[in-house]
Amino acid sequence: MSAEHFTDKKPFPTRSLYVHIPFCAGRCAYCDFFSVPRGSCSPSTLASYVSAVLEQAAEWTKIFEAGEFATIYIGGGTPTVLGTELLGTLVRGLEPYAANECEWTIEANPESLDEEAVQMLAETKVSRISLGVQTLSQNQWPILGRVGSVEDSLRAIELLGSSRFEVSVDLLAGIPYRASDPAGAPEYIEAQLLQSLSALSGKVPHISMYDLTIEEGTVLQRRIVDGELVLPDTDSLARARESADGLLAAHGYIRYEVSNYALPGHECRHNLAYWNMDPYLGLGSGAVSTLAYPADAHQRMLGSMVRLNGTKNLKHFIARPAEIPPEVEIIDKPTAAFEVLMMGFRTARGVDATRFSALFGIPILELIPSSLERWGGEIIQKDNHIAIHPRNFDILNRFLVECFEEMDENRAMLKT
């Protein structure tokens, strides 16, 4: 699909930008994301990649009428492995696209974040650092196959604590334990998670806690199949999660999304835009863009949603950064409606019922009435939003299955 296909259509405003930096110091044992080992790339390749991203930004913001951006998120991989000079070139090159009050996040791993990088970023529009810690347990660190150490993580947290940046830390729940470990699974899982949280609570305003997913073909998956490692059972993980919720609540954190906790006023605006299914532009090799177009020039009802999957061929991207992917995924209206519900119900605020009706031409209460009635005791309706109470997030998947089944029965209600 060519650029001309898009230039004759005026999209919904695109105010969020994601930039993918695929390079990392080394692949973790659990990772199956698209990434490129930093050691396999020459300095000129890294510099060419940064130049390509900036060229793509210049072209795509015009083609898709995107920006100024209210949120920018540079993720990976590990953006900080670019080194201070190249990372500075990237950030300064993107600054013209940032709105005045832009929330600008950069992901970093502790071992690649030093005082020089923090000082450089402090002189830019970057406002937020998301630190990939995953665990502060000496027992769990080697199981995950992470580069660096627990000490690197504690040093980075302390370094950022004295800076001007908003700080977020990523943790993993459900990390497997060694089959030879004499500790019982329930006690071990809960104790290790609480150890990490206790070291962080009150020191950082935002904590993301994701359940570890065991991906096919990873080092971690092979060690589990071989019987060397054991996954925690569902009950053990649930108890650990419940204890973690209690500890974080006691320190003032609000669970504003299934996997995210923040002190009041410190929620991640970029992620909120993502969960709201707002359009966003993705730059870089392997980046995804989701764009939305109205039904016609005179109304705000959704006409089409498109998803662009950037090439994962690094050489191809560097040679042709502005090229639009030949295959563009067109998301039909029923699928788009379910995605809006699925993402919205992940948050404590829930789905904006007024916006849903405007986009899809039907009220939520008419599209999934039986599901909402059946789960009424777990649902909150306030200020035109429909949400699952955070204490009931554990039933989210079951609720969404019922929503999907009912929506499938009522597909004809969604106007094309």
Q: Mind listing the domains of the chain with CATH numbers?
A: 3-272 (3.80.30.20), 333-416 (no CATH)
Tokens 């690197």 sit at which residue?
Answer: 152
Q: In a structure prediction context, what are the per-residue pLDDT tens digits for the chain, which is 416 residues long?
A: 555 555 566 889 999 999 999 999 888 888 877 888 887 889 999 999 999 999 999 999 999 999 999 999 999 999 999 999 999 999 999 999 999 999 999 999 999 999 999 999 999 999 999 999 999 999 899 999 989 999 999 999 999 999 999 999 999 999 998 888 756 566 667 888 888 998 898 889 999 999 999 999 999 999 999 999 998 888 888 888 999 999 999 999 999 999 999 999 999 999 999 999 999 999 999 999 999 988 776 666 888 899 999 999 999 999 999 999 987 899 988 999 999 999 999 999 999 999 999 999 899 999 999 999 999 999 999 999 999 999 889 899 999 999 999 999 998 888 65
3 state SS of 173: strand
Model pTM greater than 0.85?
A: yes
pLDDT of residue 364: 95
The pairing of strands 379-382 and 385-388 is antiparallel
Report residue 21: phi and psi, to 5°.
-110, 105
Contact 142, 175 (CB under 8 A): no
Residue-wise pLDDT tens digits, 199-229: 898 889 999 999 999 999 999 999 999 999 9
pLDDT of residue 416: 56
pLDDT of residue 7: 54
Residue-wise pLDDT tens digits, 70-119: 999 999 999 999 999 999 999 999 999 999 999 999 999 999 999 999 99
Element (H, E) at 19: strand 14-21
Exposure string over 143-162, b if 16+ CB within 10 A, otherwise e: bbbbbbebebbbbbbebbee
pLDDT of residue 31: 82
Q: Which of 5, 20, 2, 109 is nearest to 57 (CA)?
A: 20
Give the C-alpha separation, 174 to 351, whole Å: 29
